[in-house]
Amino acid sequence: MLYHLLYPLRDWWFGFNVFRYITFRAAMASVTAFLLTLLIAPAVIRWLTALKVGQRIRQKGEVRDLYDLHRHKDGTPTMGGLLILLALIGSTLLWADFLNLKVILAVAVTAGLGAVGFADDYSKLKLGNSRGISARRKFLWQTGIALAFILILLLRDPFYPASLEVPFFKHPIWSIGVWYVPFVLLVVVGTSNAVNLADGLDGLAIGCATMIALCLTVMSYLSGHWGLAGYLKIPFMPGAGELTVFCAALVGASMGFLWYNSPPASVFMGDTGSLALGGAIGAVAVLIKKEILLVIVGGIFVMEALSVILQVASFRLTGRRIFLMAPIHHHFQLKGWPESKVTIRFWILGAVFALLSLSTLKLR
């Protein structure tokens, strides 16, 4: 909004020329999202508490030991993902070029999956349905949003290639034709659900998401800069530079939410936040052609999802469990690690994965 309102006034006063620079607007978007989250969080937390949408900690069967570790969290307000959405979307609309197709799509996917998560949270907490909306219905909504996203992108952006970039190779483009559409569905839906699985400890998911968003901020800028993309031999994506503003706003909103979600958490993000965060990360990875690299940069979320897949497969095939409990962060809890230690060590791994991802820009 400010870009369209103030940049045209540069001839009247040269100072408005600063709105031309993506780096300036990205920095301002991050700061704005962070401060906006800090300002509105107390009111939103009070509102969620008044609505009595507190987290309900399960206490039956095989999760009894885990309940003993988490019972003190019972009643903590959830659906705090609304904070992330308000700060992220508000800051993006304020500082980005909101007519940019890639920005529109990133915001739309984030808001759409956030709405699916909100419906699931609301069904669990206010309607008394312990399972929320059915897994089938949730999956269909997620798939529909991802399908609309990739079809609009392919139809409206004539420069967008339906191919993959393979990290560590100098000539990395690999065309997969019509299979690209189901591949994108897997990326967006899979990332959305992977973040949801990781959201089990105070600060774990949002801390790792912050590092991923910071990494994608750098990569969005490079992908949208013709000279730098050519030098690094990565695909140049026209218009992708504006995603730098979106990703920077995501960093700010995530840090602001972590302020209240750090141990002991004052609020949980719920599916409202986790599905939206995963959708944002997956959509940006597709828009800047870093779909395969997402396996590295989002290594923590990949670990969480794989632990669940392996646990279920092992139990069904052999009747035995690989981990004490899945997702894997609960395995370490049941081994006796304090929650804060699990969270911080996962943050460390997340930082390592992010640095490794950035290294692929030159290791080709």
- Is 325 part of a structural domain of the chain? no
- For 184-243, give the DSSP string: HHHHHHHHHHHHHHHTTSTTHHHHHHHHHHHHHHHHHHHHT-HHHHHHHT----TTGGGH
- Is 336 part of a structural domain of the chain? no
Please determine, for residue 60, whether its predicted confidence score (pLDDT) is greater than 50: no
- Is 221 part of a structural domain of the chain? yes
Tell me how far apart the alpha carbons of residues 286 and 288 are, in angstroms, rounded to a whole number.
6
Please determine, for residue 65, whether its predicted confidence score (pLDDT) is greater than 70: no
- For 125-150, give the DSSP string: HTS--TT-S-HHHHHHHHHHHHHHHH
For 122-170, how does the pLDDT look when each residue is reduced to its tens digit (9 = 90+)?
Answer: 887 766 665 678 889 999 999 999 999 999 999 998 889 888 888 877 7
Report the phi/psi class of residue 342: left, alpha or beta, with left for phi > 0 and alpha for psi in -120 to 50.
alpha
Question: By 3-state DSSP, what share of the chain in percent is helix, strand and coil, each rounded to 5?
Answer: 70, 0, 25
The residue type found at 184 is V
- Is 318 part of a structural domain of the chain? no
Contacts of 282 (CB under 8 A, 6+ apart): 109, 146, 187, 188, 189, 190, 191, 192, 294
Contacts of 228 (CB under 8 A, 6+ apart): 221, 222
Enter the pTM of the model. Answer: 0.93
- Is 124 part of a structural domain of the chain? yes
Please determine, for residue 310, whether its predicted confidence score (pLDDT) is greater than 70: yes
Instruction: Show the domain range for 161.
Output: 27-291
The pLDDT of residue 130 is 56
Q: Is the bond preceding residue 167 a cis peptide, omega within 30 degrees?
A: no
Please determine, for residue 5, whether its predicted confidence score (pLDDT) is greater than 90: no
The pLDDT of residue 357 is 95
Please determine, for residue 202, whether its predicted confidence score (pLDDT) is greater than 70: yes
Please determine, for residue 67, whether its predicted confidence score (pLDDT) is greater than 70: no
For 256-266, how does the pLDDT look when each residue is reduced to its tens digit (9 = 90+)?
Answer: 999 999 988 99
**Stretch among 73-82, 126-135, 183-192, 302-311 having the lowest mean pLDDT:** 126-135
- Is 17 part of a structural domain of the chain? no
- Number of compact structural domains in the chain: 1
**Mean pLDDT, rounded, for 285-307:** 95
- Is 361 part of a structural domain of the chain? no
- Is 315 part of a structural domain of the chain? no
